[in-house]
Amino acid sequence: MSRMPIRMTVNGKAAELVAEPRTHLADLLRGALLLTGTHLGCEHGVCGACTVELDGIPARSCITHAGACDGAAVRSIEGFDADPVMAALREAFSAEHALQCGYCTPGMLITARDIILRLPDADEARVREELSGNLCRCTGYRGIVHAVLRVLAERRGTAP
């Protein structure tokens, strides 16, 4: 099968790659780049486990063709170690027991960070709605919802 060249910025670093036209972004990240924090739960765009940031916006890397990412900036869970919002979320996820097996967690965190930045006034119902594209089979979501609400409250200065 033919292979195409792809140039991307991944977690702040330039990457030059080749991929088959049928390769999806998640396989490219997990394979050639060894960034296995991006997980695959369905490979058809429903579960959200593969969520990464693509040009600043959360995207499902399983239904994003790698070839369509030429010139794009991608940030995977490995690229947030210096990010203060992610640090606050990680702290809150642990405190609220928002993860069990950890498989949904990277995608959940990237979606959660987007909620925090985009919807600073979100209430519980809105947070649940915004999280509804990320499935978790382990936690029953309460810890996740509470963790997001906790960080929102901290940032509004209304934390208890």
Partner 1 sequence: MTAVGAADAPPQGVGASLRRKEDARFLRGRGRYVGDITQAGMLEVAFLRSPVAHARLLGVTKPEGAEDRVFTAGDLLGVGAIRAASNLAGFRVSEQPVLARGKLRHVGEAIAACVAPTRAEAEDLAAACTLDYEELPVVTDMLAARAPDAALIHEHWPDNAFLETRREEDLSDLDGIAAAKVTRRLRTARHCMAPLEGRGVLAEWDPRLEQLIVTSSAQMPHVIRTGLAEILGLDEAQVRVIAPDVGGGFGYKGILLPEEVVSAHLAMRLDRPVRWIEDRLEQLTANANCREHHYVVTAWADREGRLLGVEVDATVDAGAYSSYPFSACLEAAQIGSIFPGPYTLPRFRCRTVSACTNKPPILPYRGVARTGVCYAMETTLDALARQLGIGTDAIRLANLVPPEAMPYRNLVGKVFDSGDYPEALRRAIACFDLDRLRARQAAGEYVGFGLGIFCEQGAHGTSVYHGWGIPMVPGYEQALARFTPDGGLELRTGVHSHGQGLETTLAQVAHEVLGVPTARIRVVHGDTALTPYSTGTWGSRAMVMAGGAVAEACRLLGERALAIGAVLLQAGPEAVELAGGAVRRRDGSAAVALEEIARTWYRRPQHLARDVDTGGLEVTAGYRPDPDTGTHSYACHAVIARIDRDTGAVALEDYVVVEDGGKLVNPMIVDGQVLGGLAQGIGTALYEEMPFDAAGQPLAGTLADYLLPGATEVPDVRLDHMETPSPWTRFGQKGIGESGAIGPPAAIVNAINDALHRFGAELTDLPASPARVLAALEAGRRR
Give contact residues for partner 1 (rule: CB under 8 A).
20, 22-23, 30, 35-44, 46-47, 49, 76-78, 81, 90, 93-95, 97, 99-106, 109, 124, 127-129, 131-145
* Residues with Cβ within 8 Å of residue 50, at least 6 apart in sequence: 26, 38, 39, 40, 41, 43, 60, 61, 62, 107
| 64 vs 76 by CB, closer to partner 1 | 76
Instruction: Give the end-to-end CA distance of the chain in Å, rounded to a whole number.
Output: 58
Query: How many residues line the site for ligand FES (CB under 6 A)?
Result: 23
Looking at beta carbons only, is 69 or 131 nearer to partner 1?
A: 131
- Nearest approach, Cβ of 79 to partner 1 (angstroms)? 10
Query: How far apart are the C-alpha atoms of 60 and 48, rounded to whole Å?
Result: 6
Question: Which partner in ligand FES, partner 1, none is near 38 (CB below 5 to 8 A by kind)?
Answer: partner 1
Residues in contact with ligand FES, shown as a per-residue x/- string from 131 to 150 under the rule CB under 6 A: -----xxxx-----------
60 binds, among partner 1, ligand FES, none (CB under 5 to 8 A by kind): ligand FES
Instruction: State how far the Cα of 6 lies from the Cα of 25, in Å rounded to an integer.
Output: 11
Report which of 16, 29, 33 is spatially closest to residue 107, judged by C-alpha positions: 29
Please pick, from the candidates 6, 8, 33, 50, the single residue that binds ligand FES as defined by CB under 6 A: 50
Edge-to-edge strands, sheet with 73-75: 13-19, 4-10, 73-75, 51-54, 57-60
Contact set for ligand FES, span 98-127 (CB under 6 A): 99-105
